[in-house]
A and B are shown apart, each in its own frame.
Chain A
């Protein structure tokens, strides 16, 4: 998994509540055999019109936010199905951090599995960050996981909470597999003992 330490980049404002996984990546894109390549269809129904042309009003289609790496959104982000395609699409677009007042549980967990940092903050603080994000490409926001702090383009600091174990995994770029591989010696040991006790396996 990609490490997440500190990013400084453009934040896109998406002040909608209850953005569900169908809005993030509609189900017609689930037939894929890949988890990459979903970025072009991120927010597909809001981002494109019926002919497939870009909707110029949508934030990620506007020049100021096309290269956003942070997303600031409304309450209950990521509700709906458990599809891992939702964080896959966000990541593939290039967004590494989502900030909202609250998240749906499964989506929240899926983010960590895929190197994305979801940050839940009180509404007032999200409002401050939303305003900052609205300034566009010249206003860069910084998310510093090590120190658990967000810096607005004006230098205002907002602290955030994160589970210590998940923080460790993101900082080190460890996914579940990476963590288990840290125990490779134990697995090796188990296998060689098994060659004695159950050689037929």
Chain B
């Protein structure tokens, strides 16, 4: 008998029912909810007289559409659109008795940062949310993915999801990372290599020495972007790093339950003889600090590269590349380090955690944003913000000329007034560089927090390795 992958094990542990055609009913351990994709789902429950089956397993927090400026506890200070959605979530959380972190709560933040921070996300769980970056929680060895509004309602009412099983894909990052290379560079490099559809139909398990050496926060950055690689979810097997992170969090098990949980969690790994439908191996030493040049997350190049030409690509990609170059206002052959930036955004569920802020602040300490460059730091949660202030990071950011904002998704999706202006070029730590994503006409280059900070100081995309060598 062949062994099981981690995905197989979690799947089997949550299978409620399997129909003849292979359609499965999967039990959901944690359902995360935010203000933008949930209102119609709650309305559906009201219309049909249904209730939330497991309110204790349902956690709501407004994040996508909330302002990140002071005074937002007063809903009158929100735009009409934000106010309606936030008030709807307030009411739904109250009416249905689910766990809730309102904007006024210090624990409020981006749903994918709050879940792990509060210990809601645990190894071996199934976690869903009406948001594609739910993949983040896979860092704990939890099967986590995004769902649509009809499915949100389905999970609220039944605590299950109708699913068909995906295939297994292994992404192994061997060896060690070079100095200046981060989790963000790993995840972008994987997408650069496999493409945005490379993971379609698969659940990816990331493994290898380079992944093992990452902190939990780095692992979350890696899994966060599994979705950009087309995968249904990303997973990393739990280990001592995971257990250390989880222990003592508000909703983590305690005492005897902790011991019981731990002994099960320790069985959550892929067996040596498990079957993989696809395997990708990348040497950690080969990964360079990278940036994106185009409008797809697969448009990844080492910072030492030059802007490609459409002719470098074949098939439909050539056309797409030309469209990207036009939109991004780039000339083929330009060294990436000569691309000037107008803005720096540090935040999002990819890189809005305390380690990300520390890394960026480490680069910015005693330095300033280049003239004409605007910078914004949006901590991923109120607790991340408080921690950063305790460490004096806010001072470093504001001294450097950055705005120090309140927690939320902010410019990552530009739903509220935090947006790029048309043509404005931004070094961003978020996960999507689509046309108009951060504001109509805005141009996004994705990169790690240290690279974004360095770009802010020099005013152009910058190789963090040279930056550190020159300015130490």
Contact = CB atoms under 8 A, between A and B. Distances in A.
Interface residues of B, number: 37
Given A31-B81, A177-B50, A199-B257, A183 B25 contact: yes
Interface stretch (A124-132, A148-156, A186-194): A186-194
A165 to B, nearest CB: 10
Given A33-B40, A200-B122, A201-B125, A187 B257 contact: no
Interface in B196-234: none
Interface stretch (B155-163, B177-185, B275-283, B431-439): B155-163
Interface residues of A, number: 23
Interface string A1-36: 100000000000000000000000000000101111
B27 interface: yes
Contacts of B146: none
Contacts of A198: 13, 124, 261, 264
A61 interface: no
B43 A35 contact: yes
Contacts of B57: 201
Contacts of A199: 257, 260
Contact of A33 (B29, B43, B253): B43
B88 A33 contact: yes
A84 interface: yes
Contacts of B159: 187, 191
A177 B157 CA distance: 7
B417 to A, nearest CB: 15
A176 interface: yes
Nearest to A176: B154
B125 A180 contact: no
Given A177-B50, A183-B16, A200-B122, A33 B84 contact: yes
B150 interface: yes
B97 interface: no
A184 B51 CA distance: 14
B43 A194 contact: no
A113 interface: yes
Interface in B221-269: 253, 257-258, 260-261, 264
A6 to B, nearest CB: 22
A113 B150 contact: yes
Contacts of A183: 16-17, 25
Interface string A74-118: 000000000010000000000000000000000000000100000
A199 B254 CA distance: 11
B85 interface: yes
A181 interface: yes
Contact of B39 (A33, A186, A190): A33
Contacts of A177: 48, 50, 153-154, 157-158
Interface of A: 1, 31, 33-36, 84, 113, 176-177, 180-181, 183-184, 186-187, 190-191, 194, 198-201
Nearest first, the 9 A-B pairs at minimum CB distance are A33-B39, A200-B253, A200-B257, A180-B158, A33-B88, A190-B16, A35-B40, A200-B261, A177-B157
9 contacts: A33-B39, A33-B85, A36-B43, A84-B40, A183-B17, A198-B13, A198-B264, A200-B122, A200-B260
